[in-house]
Amino acid sequence: MKGTFAQLRSYERSVQLLMVNQFTINLGFYMLMPYLAAHLSGTLGLAGWLVGLVLGVRNFSQQGMFLVGGTLADRFGYKPLIVAGCVLRTVGFATLGLVDSLAALIVASAATGLAGALFNPAVRAYLAADAGERRVEAFALFNVFYQAGILLGPLVGMVLTGVDFRITCLVSAGIFALLSVVQIRALPTRRAQDREEPAEEGRESVLAQWRGILANRPFLLFSGAMIGSYVLTFQVYLSLPLEVRRLGGDGEFGTAAVAVLFAVSGLSTILGQTRVTAWCKARYEPGQSLTRGLAVMGLAFVPLLAATAVPVPESGVGLWLLAAVPPTLAALLLAVGTMIAYPFEMETIVRLSGDRLVATHYGLYNTICGIGITLGNLLTGAALDAAREAGMPALPWISLCALGAACAAALYGLHRTGRLATPVPQPAGV
């Protein structure tokens, strides 16, 4: 960890603040969100479909507005959108803890989702701008702080929710309020125009900008190829916990084994991300690192596939090992694959944008991947159901391995054909 903080100090103040901001954002978010469904269904007594509606509104408002958030960041500057997102999440989280009417809950949920759509593209574009030639290393370090917030948030939330969920909401809202003040006072103003972009860009209409991005074929192909990485990594929250509970049950063992999945995923990233990135950068081109990262993500499900050939013990240590070890290995390999790919993924988006309208590109990228995650999870859920009904437990793991291989092959093709290279600027009038 000393090396992590030494690396952090090597960046200018704005980059340091963005790292700490992202840790704090994830801390505040994940100390609340894992316990929201239980509050809605238990304390407030909402029906299951209403709980799904409230949570779905949050996800939809975030995924659906990423492009708008990125566009606004490129138009008005990164700092105002980061601050606005934090202020909006302050209001949204406080409201979730103080109201009990369905209409107010839906509005609050939508506000928390919109907040993410406002600050996420802006934070990444700002980081890319100020990290300069050290973008890859900066995004690797960014992922360390990102995962640290995800790891610590639920633990803090568990303690606070044990007292009262409203306290969790108010503490989380207080964190975002404090973060808003700190950013207003300490975060330097940064606009896309600071990157020496053409003066006429500021007068270009939003629709014209969007048409230009949609005409960027390499960027769209890259976005499509990377959808698989998000579907695969999301299995830490979907198929892996379900597999643990299928074999290990819903008791204390199942709960502890699922907690181990999350701990392995987060801790491995915190401890290994910067080393993995330095190793890959010294040996591979960005496209090669991306290909290898996706391949490792696909291979992550091989332990689960192999486990389906082992007879399931009725009880005892053998059952516990079968329930816990293959999913834990899968979570570790998914984390390694993400460590390999993520910094180069973020840097490639900047490169394919031609260093122009970077936040808008991040926004569209997030929307494309968000839609892909939704469809991928539906198909994964269908594969899990079909596997149970047909007595074919290997089916979902074969499908996920194939998805990883297909996405790795797509990225390899993009790399070999030069589509992941920096676009060559066109002369004026062409």
What is the C-alpha to C-alpha distance for residues 417 and 144, in angstroms, rounded to an integer? 32
Q: Is residue 240 part of a domain?
A: yes
Beta carbons of 53 and 87 less than 8 angstroms apart: no
Report how many domains make up the chain: 2
Q: Do 220 and 170 share a structural domain?
A: no
Q: What is the mean pLDDT of residues 317-340?
A: 91
Q: Is residue 424 part of a domain?
A: no
Q: Do 221 and 187 share a structural domain?
A: no
Q: Estimate to the nearest angstrom the gap between the alpha carbon of 85 and the chain centroid.
A: 17
Residues 6+ apart with CB under 8 A from 25: 86, 119, 149, 176, 179
**pLDDT exceeds 80 at position 58:** yes
Q: Do 393 and 271 share a structural domain?
A: yes
Question: Cβ-count burial of 239 within 10 angstroms (0-12 exposed, 13-18 middle, 19+ buried)?
Answer: buried
Q: Do 222 and 99 share a structural domain?
A: no
Q: Is residue 199 part of a domain?
A: no
Average of per-residue pLDDT values in the chain:
89
Q: Do 140 and 27 share a structural domain?
A: yes
Q: Do 109 and 238 share a structural domain?
A: no
Q: Do 100 and 235 share a structural domain?
A: no
Domain containing 251 equals: 212-417
Q: Do 284 and 219 share a structural domain?
A: yes
Mark which of 162, 191, 220 sits at the end of a domain: 191
Mark which of 125, 156, 191 sits at the end of a domain: 191
Q: Is residue 333 part of a domain?
A: yes
How many percent of the chain have pLDDT more than 90?
60
Mark which of 191, 220, 246 sits at the end of a domain: 191
Q: Do 288 and 219 share a structural domain?
A: yes
pLDDT tens per residue across span 226-283: 999 999 998 988 888 888 888 877 677 777 888 888 899 999 999 999 999 999 999 9
**pLDDT exceeds 60 at position 202:** no
Q: Is residue 423 part of a domain?
A: no
Q: Which residue has the tokens 């239980």?
A: 38
Entry pTM: 0.89
Q: How confident is the model at residue 199 (pLDDT cuts 50, 70, 90)?
A: very low
Q: Do 287 and 158 share a structural domain?
A: no
Q: Is residue 1 part of a domain?
A: no
**pLDDT exceeds 60 at position 407:** yes
Q: Do 404 and 280 share a structural domain?
A: yes
Q: Is residue 283 part of a domain?
A: yes
Q: Is residue 301 part of a domain?
A: yes
CATH of the domain at 295: 1.20.1250.20
**pLDDT exceeds 60 at position 425:** no
Residue-level pLDDT at 192:
65
pLDDT tens per residue across span 283-306: 999 999 999 999 999 999 999 999
Beta carbons of 399 and 384 less than 8 angstroms apart: no
Q: Do 258 and 405 share a structural domain?
A: yes
